[in-house]
Amino acid sequence: MKNTSLHWLGKNYMQSFGGDFEFTHADYNFGNLEKIFNNIDNNPKTYNNFEVSISTPGIYFKEKNEENLYFPLKNQDDFFPYRYFIIYF
């Protein structure tokens, strides 16, 4: 998280995790995440003052909006990552 957050504007950073059908036992998985998050929140010196929580995209974007950040626009050149685009015939 620390490495990725260095390239993020503002103080709020969203780290997505999981995928379809990956957390079929939500009580178990979120219980473990809560333990990890509590450990991070209770040890600010160890984790560089990170605060973590489980949230929704709506809450995240509300917080980002309240930061009043300026996001620079991408130039008009093409930005499609061709090196990762493979067509099979």
Q: Please give the Cα distance from 14 to 1 (Å, whole number).
A: 9
Q: Does residue 31 lie within any of the structural domains? A: yes
Residue 13: predicted pLDDT: 82
Q: Which amino acid is present at 29?
A: N
Domain count, the chain: 1
SS3 assignment, position 76: coil
Top mean pLDDT of 17-21, 40-44, 51-55 is at 40-44
Question: What is the rounded distance in angstroms from the CA atom of residue 37 to the CA atom of residue 33?
Answer: 6
Per the structure, the complete domain to which residue 30 belongs is given by 17-69
Dump pLDDT digits (tens) for 47-65.
Answer: 888 888 888 889 988 998 9
Tokens of 58: 């709506």
